[in-house]
C-alpha cells in the first residue's frame, strides 16, 4: 500500500476528490486558488481555506505576530490570484494547553495588523486543544467582479508567462512578512486581463506546471528567472512560499500594458520568464514544495 510520501500531494488531492459532484451555483470547484460561487446577481463569491502548522510552516520560536500575519496573508494572496478582494474570515486556532496566553495575544495582533492593512473582517472562528504544537486555520470569503475573475485554466499556447517580484529565499524570513498582491492583481485584472493567474506558494517549478496543466498547455522557460539577492536559479525555482503572482498574457496585451504597469508599481518588477506551448511540448519542471515528500 502506498504511503502519502510515495503518492505526493497533487495525486492525493485528485484521489480524494473522486466521486464528488458540483452544485448549480458552483462555478469553479477544487483545483484553483479559490472556489468560485455564483449567487445569481452581483459579484461572484470566492471561498478559500488554508492552514499553517508549527514546525512545518513556522518554527516554534517564531514571533507569534509574524505567525498571525502569515496565516491570514496566505488566504488574502489566494483572493489576489483570482483578481478578487477579501471580505470575511474565520480563524480556527488549535494549540497545546500550556501555551502562554501572551502567545495568542501576539498571534491575534498579527492577524489584526494584516487585515487592517489589506482588507477583510474577522467574522468568527474556533479555539481547541492539541496535545502539543500549534495549528492556525483560516477560512475566508471574498468577491470579484464577474468580468474580472481570473482562473488558472485560461492560458493559451504562445501566451507569455510572467511573475511579479523576485523568487527564492523564503527560509531567510520572506515567508513571514510577504505582501499579498491584492492591489497589483486588481490592477492586472482590469488593465492587462491575464489569461490565467495563480499565486506562487509552492515554487515556480511546482506551480507553473500546475497552471500549464490546468490550461491544457505545455511550457517553456526563458533564461531569466528573477532571483532574490543571494539566491541561485535553483532556489528561485524551488524554494516556494514566494507569494508572488504567476500569470499568463497574450504578448500584444503585455506589450501594451507594460509601461502602465511600471508607472503604477514602480517598485515591483514584472518579469517574462517563459511562454506556454501546445500540450505535450516544451520543458518538464521538477522540484518545489510538496507537503508529503
pLDDT score, position 171: 87
The low-confidence residues of the chain, meaning pLDDT below 50, are none
Residue 31's H or E segment, with its range, is none
pLDDT, one tens digit per residue, over 60-94 is 999 999 999 999 999 999 999 999 999 999 999 99
pLDDT score, position 175: 96
Are the C-beta atoms of 77 and 114 separated by less than 8 Å?
Answer: no
pLDDT score, position 61: 95
Task: Name the residue among 91, 13, 93 with its Cα closest to residue 54.
Answer: 93
Q: Is 60 exposed, middle or buried (0-12, 13-18, 19+ CB in 10 A)?
A: exposed
**CA dihedral (201, 16, 45, 161) positive or negative:** positive
pLDDT score, position 188: 98
Are the C-beta atoms of 87 and 143 separated by less than 8 Å?
Answer: yes
Task: For residue 256, report the phi and psi dihedrals to the nearest 5 degrees.
Answer: -75, -35
SS3 string, 91-145, reads EEEEECCCCCHHHHHHHHHHHHHHHHHHCCEEEEEEEEECCCCEEEEEEEEEEEC
The Cα–Cα gap between 194 and 160 comes to 10
Task: For residue 114, report the phi and psi dihedrals to the nearest 5 degrees.
Answer: -65, -45
Give CA torsion, residues 77, 78, 84, 90, to 10 deg: -90
CA angle (98, 104, 105) in 5-degree steps: 135
Are the C-beta atoms of 59 and 103 separated by less than 8 Å?
Answer: no
Give CA torsion, residues 138, 143, 148, 153, to 10 deg: 40
The Cα–Cα gap between 166 and 138 comes to 26
Classify domain 20-144 by CATH number.
3.30.1330.10
**CA dihedral (69, 153, 272, 190) positive or negative:** negative
What is the homologous superfamily of the domain 152-278 according to CATH?
PurM-like C-terminal domain (3.90.650.10)
- Return the C-alpha cell found at 13: 488531492
| Boundaries of every domain in the chain | 20-144, 152-278
Q: Give the number of other Cβ atoms within 10 Å of residue 214's Cβ.
A: 17
Task: Tell me if domain 20-144 and domain 152-278 are identical in fold.
Answer: no
Are the C-beta atoms of 200 and 244 separated by less than 8 Å?
Answer: yes
Q: Model pTM greater than 0.85?
A: yes
Amino acid at each position: 500500500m502506498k504511503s502519502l510520501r510515495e503518492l505526493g500531494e497533487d495525486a492525493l488531492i485528485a484521489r480524494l476528490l473522486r466521486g464528488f459532484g458540483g452544485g448549480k451555483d458552483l462555478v469553479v470547484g477544487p483545483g484553483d486558488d479559490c472556489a468560485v460561487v455564483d449567487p445569481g446577481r452581483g459579484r461572484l463569491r470566492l471561498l478559500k481555506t488554508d492552514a499553517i502548522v508549527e514546525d512545518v510552516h513556522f518554527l516554534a520560536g517564531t514571533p507569534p505576530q509574524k505567525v498571525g500575519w502569515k496565516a491570514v496573508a496566505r488566504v488574502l494572496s489566494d483572493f489576489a490570484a483570482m483578481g478578487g478582494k477579501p471580505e470575511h474570515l474565520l480563524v480556527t486556532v488549535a494549540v497545546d494547553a500550556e501555551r502562554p496566553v501572551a502567545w495568542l495575544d501576539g498571534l491575534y495582533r498579527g492577524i489584526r495588523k494584516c487585515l487592517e492593512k489589506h482588507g477583510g473582517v474577522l467574522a468568527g472562528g474556533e479555539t481547541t486543544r492539541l496535545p502539543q504544537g500549534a495549528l492556525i486555520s483560516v477560512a475566508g470569503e471574498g468577491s470579484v467582479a464577474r468580468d474580472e475573475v481570473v482562473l488558472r485554466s485560461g492560458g493559451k499556447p504562445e501566451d507569455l508567462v510572467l511573475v511579479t517580484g523576485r523568487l527564492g529565499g523564503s527560509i531567510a524570513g520572506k515567508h513571514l512578512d510577504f505582501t499579498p498582491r491584492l492591489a497589483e492583481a486588481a490592477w492586472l485584472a482590469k488593465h492587462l486581463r491575464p489569461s490565467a493567474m495563480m499565486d506562487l506558494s509552492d515554487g515556480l517549478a511546482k506551480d507553473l506546471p500546475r497552471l500549464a496543466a490546468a490550461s491544457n498547455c505545455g511550457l517553456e522557460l526563458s533564461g531569466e528567472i528573477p532571483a532574490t539577492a543571494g539566491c541561485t536559479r535553483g532556489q528561485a525555482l524551488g524554494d516556494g512560499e514566494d507569494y508572488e503572482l504567476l500569470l499568463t498574457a497574450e504578448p500584444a496585451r503585455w506589450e501594451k500594458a507594460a509601461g502602465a504597469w511600471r508607472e503604477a508599481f514602480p517598485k515591483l518588477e514584472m518579469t517574462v520568464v517563459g511562454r506556454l506551448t501546445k500540450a505535450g511540448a516544451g520543458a518538464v519542471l521538477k522540484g518545489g514544495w510538496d507537503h508529503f515528500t
